[in-house]
Each structure stands twice: as structure tokens, then as C-alpha cells.
Amino acid sequence: MTEKWTDFPATALTWEKRNGQLRVPVPELTEGIAASLSCYPSKAKDMRAIALPTERVPDWQRKAIQKLQQLLERYRALRVYLDICVQCGACSDKCHFYLGTADPNNMPVARANLLRKVYRFYFRPVEKILGGEAEAFNEKVLREWYTYFYQCSECRRCSVFCPYGIDTAEITMAAREIMAEIGVATKYVTEVVAKVYERGNNLGIPAPAWIDNCQFLEEELKNETGKDIRLPVDEVGAEVLLVAPSADNFANTDTMMGYAKLFYALGISWTTSTYASEGGNFGLFLNYRNLKRVNKRIIDAAKQLKVKRIIWGECGHAWRAAIYTNTLNGPMDFLDPPYPIHICQFTAEMIQRGALKIDKTANDDLIVTYHDPCNAARAGSLIEEPRAMIRATCNKFVEMPRNTIREKTFCCGAGGGLLTDELMPIRMAGGKPRAEACRSTGATYLATPCAICKAQLPEVMKHWKVPVKVGGVHDLLSRALIL
Ligand code: SF4
Ligand code: SF4
């Protein structure tokens, strides 16, 4: 389980030693900037829309500790994570944000300690007396929480290397939940959740524009294939409700057209919903109530449209939230099967059954590598199916170094609600390990089934000068599928 910086390809990361710490030099990232880079705060109108206090509540310290107590009672694992860390440091250099910024508070153990010291102060008086670091929840601590729990992409990489399996992402989620309770949240995350309630999706695409985009893609498909391949919307009685990231309708249209060709080739009726036109769930990055409420829209849409199954599209955190559906808003017993399905699972199974005709040579102009989105791989066990799809559709597939893939994948640097411009230097710094692993493959196409990764990685690759195109997995299927 050990990982040393020397495990990376020699040609890849160029490290330098500064102040006794190994770090990746990042031109825009000056020493200490991580401490001063925070997300813009939420707007009152968005907080109101998502049922959170519009400003910091007057008795915020007491409310925060009350919330921490509730979380400790509800999630026993949280208490265990806070209690059992032996401060061994095995997780320290496993976080892309620490590797990129060298800010000690971006070491997973130090990040978790920001909450642990408050926990000790209020709930572990003996440890406090014995000398464990403890601190009251005060203005300084709140500022540290706001900065560093929003410099964690909740990717869980550190947990893979912790000998006790301590999941710092869960600690980050608890801290964000507490901050939301007292009226402290970020503009980006709250704006996105508010857009879902107002318009059904993260991008705020209104229903008429959603339908227009679908019609436009149908015309594109007609021009390309000569066939009437549909992108149905709000069709009652369709077999499948597809909940893809809204970015697939608007920006990652090759992926969207790939889904459409897939269902056409299989002769399966499907639809999207203008009420729940989003697979992503930013409630996951904010608090439980909004996670549940966003997820419920999908269940409600499925019932309203009388579909037989729900298939989630190419999005990492959408899949992480999807697998909680039965717990959040189940049972899904009106569906067959009564559990969520990921589009890559579905397609891989169809390929395995021989239900699709594929010409792999259609992708011979590409050398393809694969980026495991952290939420898909570590939180959603979606590891083999996208690879099976790539192997079935491409002749030239090359994996990134083994300590950067599958469960050990590096985050793109913008998951967890961090895909926001004010964090750009941190995002570029955090994306460097992924960029260098990609460079080492010589690939010309980086496939990844995640809308956040598809938005972040082109910026990262450009920044670190890695000449690779970033796209979806169904984009490759789209090129190779014989209709
Ligand atoms: S969950 Fe990911 S981003 Fe957060 S501390 Fe761990 S490795 Fe870093
Ligand atoms: S590896 Fe685990 S036990 Fe060691 S410091 Fe990190 S979280 Fe604590």
C-alpha cells in the first residue's frame, strides 16, 4: 500500500524540494496562496431556494456543535474516523491538492484534524487534557474549514492508503453539512442546486431549450447517418429514463449522440425528462437534505413517465449519488431491476451479449487512454465496464501508470463542487498528477465517463501542455457502432 513520489514515471512529474517539502512547481501558484484562495460565498436567493439560512445564523457556534453532535449520533463511522487516526501520515502525500500546493493543511490528515480538534474540544475532554490538539469552534476555525473543506474534492484517494480506511471525504462532507446548517456555503454549489429546483438541471437549461437541443442533435444524427435517430423528451411509457449530466445535452454532445445511437441500435424506447434533466447531484457536496431532494426528482420523474428502468449517464458523482437512491428515496421496486444502472454497465453488457455490431477500426486514428473518475471508480465500483467498452471499440488502448488508475485514480482536480473559476490555480495544481500520468501514455484521446472531468481535464491538459483530446466513452462507441 505504500506509494512514493518516485513511483511516478521519471519523465512525468518534475518535483522540487522547497522548505523541506516535495512539491510540483505550479507557475500561477505562489507559496501560501492555497490559504488565501476560497470559494465565493453563496447568494441569499440561492440559499433561500434550497432551504438554508440566507446568512450566518446569530448563534452559529452553538448550532454548529449541535449539528456535529447529531452527525456523530447518526453516522457512527464519523465518530470512528475521528477517534482512530494515529497520525501516521501515510495519507499525507496521496492528495492531489497537497501534491500540487504543498500547503500542509491540504494533507488529508491535517484537513481532517481541522474538524477533529473541534470534536476533541467538545466531545473528548479527556484527550484534550492528555494533550491532543483541541480548539473551540471560533471565527478562525470556521475560516479554515471554509477554505480547506472546499479544497477537498471528496475523492477518497487518501482512504485507499490509510491503514485504517479512514475516509477523509466523509469528514469533509460532515464539515460542509455543519457549515450549511449555520448559513455558510459556496456560491457555485448552492447556485447549481437552486438551478435544479428551478429548471431541472445543473446548467439551468429551460425545458424549451432542452427540447431544441435534442431536436438539433437529431438533425445532426440524420446528417451523419441518414437515419431517424431520436432523442425523445418527456415520453410517457418509454422503457428507459436516461438521466445524463445536463452538460451532455449542451456541451458533450458526442456523448449524447452516442447514447441515442446505442438505444436506436438496440431498438429500446427511451426518454429524458425536463423535470429531472440532470444526473448530477450537487446536494452530495452540500448537505443530506438537498442530496435527498435532488435525487427524489429522478424517482418522481420515473414514476410520472411510467418507465421500467432508470439509467444514469456519464457522470462520476451522479453515479455515487445514484447508488444511494434506494436508501434516499426507495424502494425502487416499481422498476425492473429495482436498482440504479449506469450507462457503461448497460452498454458493456450489451456488447458482451453480442447485441451490438462494432467496427473497431473506426477509432484507429486514436491512441486511447482512460481516466477513472474518482466517484465512479472508488465510490461506485465502475472500473471494468468502461474498459470493456473501450477494448471493444478501439484497437489502441493504453493504461496510465498502475498507481494512478482504478481505485488509486487521481481526481481531475475539480470534483466535489470545486469546478469554479475562483479556484483555478488550485484546480490546475491539483490536476497535475493526472496530466503527467496521461502524458506518459502518449495517448491522443483521454476517455472519461464524467461531465466534471470533461470540463476540467481539457483546461488541465492545456495548462500542463499535454496534447490530448478529452471526451466520453460513448463518443468512442458512437464512432464505431454499425447501424
Ligand atoms: S478526499 Fe481526496 S481531495 Fe479530500 S483529502 Fe482525501 S485525497 Fe485529498
Ligand atoms: S493514514 Fe489514516 S491513520 Fe494515518 S494519518 Fe492518515 S488518516 Fe490518520
CATH code assigned to 357-480: 3.40.50
Choose from 21-30, 93-102, 120-129, 232-241 the range with maximum mean pLDDT: 232-241
The CATH architecture of the domain made up of 189-350 is 3-Layer(aba) Sandwich (3.40)
Determine the Cα–Cα distance for residues 309 and 332; give it in Å rounded to an integer.
Answer: 9
Determine the Cα–Cα distance for residues 358 and 104; give it in Å rounded to an integer.
Answer: 50
* pLDDT at residue 87 in the model: 92
Q: Please tell me if the CB atom of residue 8 comes closer than 6 angstroms to any atom of ligand 1.
A: no
Q: Please tell me if the CB atom of residue 157 comes closer than 6 angstroms to any atom of ligand 1.
A: yes
- Whether the per-residue pLDDT at 352 is higher than 90: the answer is yes
Strand order of the sheet with strand 341-342? 270-271, 240-243, 309-312, 341-342
The whole-number average pLDDT for the span 118-147 is: 88
User: To the nearest whole number, what is the mean pLDDT of the chain?
Assistant: 92
Query: Residue 126: pLDDT band by 50, 70, 90 thresholds?
Result: confident
Q: Which residue has the cell 488565501?
A: 36
- Whether the per-residue pLDDT at 7 is higher than 80: the answer is no
The model's pLDDT over 196-235, given as tens digits with 9 standing for 90+, comes to 999 999 999 999 999 999 999 999 999 999 999 999 999 9
Residue nearest to atom 8 of ligand 2 (CA): 85
Q: Which residue has the cell 483555478?
A: 424
* Mutational test site, ligand 1, from 3, 99, 154, max ligand atoms within 8 Å of CB: 154
* pLDDT at residue 31 in the model: 58
Q: Which amino acid is at 287?
A: N
Contact (CB, 8 A) for 469 and 444: yes
Tell me which H or E stretch contains 370: strand 368-370
Please return the burial class of 99, using the count of CB atoms within 10 Å of its CB with bins 0-12, 13-18 and 19+.
buried
Write down the pTM of the prediction.
0.92
DSSP string, 409-436: PPP-S-TTTT-SGGGHHHHHHHHHHHHH
* pLDDT at residue 428 in the model: 94
Cα dist. 208→211, 237, 251, 374 in Å?
A: 5, 21, 17, 33
455 Rama sector, left if φ>0, alpha if ψ -120 to 50, beta otherwise: alpha
* pLDDT at residue 30 in the model: 56
Separation of CA 268 and ligand 2 centre (Å)? 48
* pLDDT at residue 133 in the model: 86
The model's pLDDT over 263-272, given as tens digits with 9 standing for 90+, comes to 999 999 999 9
Least confident of 2-16, 123-137, 148-162, 217-231: 2-16
The SS3 assignment for 312 reads strand
Q: Which residue has the cell 486514428?
A: 365
Q: Please tell me if the CB atom of residue 166 comes closer than 6 angstroms to any atom of ligand 2.
A: yes
* pLDDT at residue 372 in the model: 98
Least confident of 44-53, 120-129, 224-233: 120-129
* pLDDT at residue 29 in the model: 55
* Mutational test site, ligand 2, from 91, 95, 152, 156, max ligand atoms within 8 Å of CB: 91
Within 13 Å and on the Cβ side, how many CA atoms surround 278?
Answer: 29
Q: Please tell me if the CB atom of residue 169 comes closer than 6 angstroms to any atom of ligand 1.
A: yes
The whole-number average pLDDT for the span 293-307 is: 98
Residue nearest to atom 2 of ligand 2 (CA): 162
Query: Residue 38: pLDDT band by 50, 70, 90 thresholds?
Result: confident
Determine the Cα–Cα distance for residues 151 and 414; give it in Å rounded to an integer.
Answer: 9
Residue nearest to atom 4 of ligand 2 (CA): 88
Instruction: List the chain domain ranges.
Output: 5-186, 189-350, 357-480
Separation of CA 214 and ligand 2 centre (Å)? 48
Cα dist. 403→67, 299, 371, 407 in Å?
A: 37, 37, 12, 9
The whole-number average pLDDT for the span 290-317 is: 98
* pLDDT at residue 35 in the model: 76
Contact (CB, 8 A) for 436 and 8: yes
Separation of CA 120 and ligand 2 centre (Å)? 17
Tell me which H or E stretch contains 173: helix 168-181
Contact (CB, 8 A) for 209 and 182: no
- Whether the per-residue pLDDT at 6 is higher than 80: the answer is no
Query: Residue 131: pLDDT band by 50, 70, 90 thresholds?
Result: low
7 vs 257: which has the higher pLDDT:
257
- Whether the per-residue pLDDT at 15 is higher than 80: the answer is no
Same fold, 189-350 and 357-480: yes
Q: Please tell me if the CB atom of residue 350 comes closer than 6 angstroms to any atom of ligand 1.
A: no
Long-range contacts of 44-49 (CB under 8 A, 24+ apart): 45/194, 46/187, 46/190, 46/191, 46/193, 46/194, 47/183, 47/185, 47/190, 49/193, 49/194, 49/197, 49/198
